[in-house]
Structure 1
Amino acid sequence: MLAGGIALSSIFAPAQAYVGLCCGKCGGNMPMNIPGGGIPETYEFRVKLSPMYMHMGGLQNGTNGVSADRLLGMPMMGGKPTGKYMAVPTSMDMSMLNLSVGYSFTKKFFGGAMFMWKQNSMNMKFNSMMRMSTGVDGFTMRSQGLGDTMLMGKYLLYADDPLIPRREVSLFFGLSLPTGSIDIKNKDHPVAMRRKELDPYGMQLGSGTADPTIGVLYQGRASPYWWGMNATYTARLYDNKRHYRLGDEAHLDLYSMYQMNYSTVAEFQLNGMHQGAIRGVMNSAASGASGHAIQGNPMSPYATPLWNPANYGGDEVAVTAGIQWQPAPLWILDFQGSVPVYQRLNGFQERRDYRVMFTIYREIPTSRSVRYFGSGANGPSKLGF
Structure 2
Amino acid sequence: MDELYNQLSIMKLYIHALFLGATQLFFAQETVENKWSGSRPDGHAPISVMGDHTHGKGEFMFSYRYMYMNMEDLNRGSENVPFSNALRPNDIYMVTPTQMPMQMHMLGAMYAPSDKVTLMVMANYLSSEMDHITAMGGTFTTEASGFGDTKIAVLYKFFNSNRQQLHAQVGISIPTGSIDEMDVTPASAPNEVILPYPMQIGSGTWDPELALTYLKQWDKFSFGTQARTTLRLGKNDNEYRLGNRYSINNWLALKATNWLSFSGRFELGAIDRIEGANPALNPMMVITADTANSGMTYANAGLGFNLYAFQGGLKNLRLGFEAALPIFQNMNGVQLRNKETMTLGLQYAL
Q: What is residue 111 of structure 1 aligned with on the other side?
A: 119
Summarize the Cα distance change of 1:230–1:178 in structure 2 as closer, same or farther, 3 Å threshold. Answer: same
Q: Report the AA paired with residue 96 of structure 1.
A: M
Conservation of the 8 A alpha-carbon contact between 1:29 and 1:257? no
Conservation of the 8 A alpha-carbon contact between 2:46 and 2:304? no
Matched, 1:312 2:298: no
Distance in 1 (alpha carbons) for counterparts of 2:99 and 2:341: 14
Conservation of the 8 A alpha-carbon contact between 1:235 and 1:248? yes
In the TM superposition, residue 36 of structure 1 has moved relative to its aligned partner by 5.2
Q: So what's the TM-score if we normalise by structure 1?
A: 0.77
Distance in 1 (alpha carbons) for counterparts of 2:236 and 2:192: 20
Question: Helix, strand or coil for the counterpart of 2:282?
Answer: helix
Question: Helix, strand or coil for the counterpart of 2:154?
Answer: strand
Q: What is residue 342 of structure 2 aligned with on the other side?
A: 356
Q: What is residue 179 of structure 2 aligned with on the other side?
A: 182
Distance in 2 (alpha carbons) for counterparts of 1:195 and 1:279: 28
Q: What is residue 39 of structure 1 aligned with on the other side?
A: 54
Q: How many residues align?
A: 311
Conservation of the 8 A alpha-carbon contact between 1:25 and 1:41? no
In the TM superposition, residue 279 of structure 1 has moved relative to its aligned partner by 0.2
Q: What is residue 99 of structure 1 aligned with on the other side?
A: 107
Matched, 1:293 2:280: yes
Distance in 2 (alpha carbons) for counterparts of 1:88 and 1:256: 39
Q: What is residue 342 of structure 1 aligned with on the other side?
A: 328
Q: In angstroms, what is the RMSD of aligned CA positions?
A: 2.0
Conservation of the 8 A alpha-carbon contact between 2:228 and 2:247? yes
Summarize the Cα distance change of 1:229–1:194 in structure 2 as closer, same or farther, 3 Å threshold. Answer: farther
Distance in 1 (alpha carbons) for counterparts of 2:157 and 2:190: 52
Distance in 1 (alpha carbons) for counterparts of 2:247 and 2:150: 19
- Aligned-residue sequence identity (percent) comes to 25
Q: What is residue 261 of structure 1 aligned with on the other side?
A: 257
Conservation of the 8 A alpha-carbon contact between 2:44 and 2:52? no
Distance in 1 (alpha carbons) for counterparts of 2:41 and 2:142: 43
Deviations for 1:153-199, whole angstroms, at most 9, x for unmatched residues?
A: 21011222xxxx511111111100001000111x2313445743210
Distance in 1 (alpha carbons) for counterparts of 2:210 and 2:331: 24
Question: Helix, strand or coil for the counterpart of 1:240?
Answer: coil
Conservation of the 8 A alpha-carbon contact between 2:140 and 2:186? yes
Question: Helix, strand or coil for the counterpart of 1:69?
Answer: helix
Q: What is residue 9 of structure 2 aligned with on the other side?
A: none
Q: Report the AA paired with residue 98 of structure 2.
A: T
Distance in 1 (alpha carbons) for counterparts of 2:49 and 2:294: 23
Q: What is residue 200 of structure 1 aligned with on the other side?
A: 196
Q: So what's the TM-score if we normalise by structure 2?
A: 0.84
Summarize the Cα distance change of 1:361–1:22 in structure 2 as closer, same or farther, 3 Å threshold. Answer: farther
Moved over 4 A (4+): 24-27
Q: Report the AA paired with residue 218 of structure 2.
A: A
Deviations for 1:111-150, whole angstroms, at most 9, x for unmatched residues?
A: 111101000101000112xx5xxxxx21011100001111
Q: What is residue 65 of structure 2 aligned with on the other side?
A: 50
Matched, 1:66 2:81: yes
Conservation of the 8 A alpha-carbon contact between 2:46 and 2:265? no
Distance in 1 (alpha carbons) for counterparts of 2:63 and 2:218: 26
- 1:216-227 residue pairs with structure 2 within 5 A? 216-227=212-223
Consecutive unaligned residues in structure 1, runs of 5 or more? 1-20, 75-81, 132-136, 283-291, 365-385
Q: Report the AA paired with residue 343 of structure 2.
A: M
Conservation of the 8 A alpha-carbon contact between 2:45 and 2:251? no
Conservation of the 8 A alpha-carbon contact between 2:40 and 2:308? no
Q: Report the AA paired with residue 138 of structure 1.
A: T
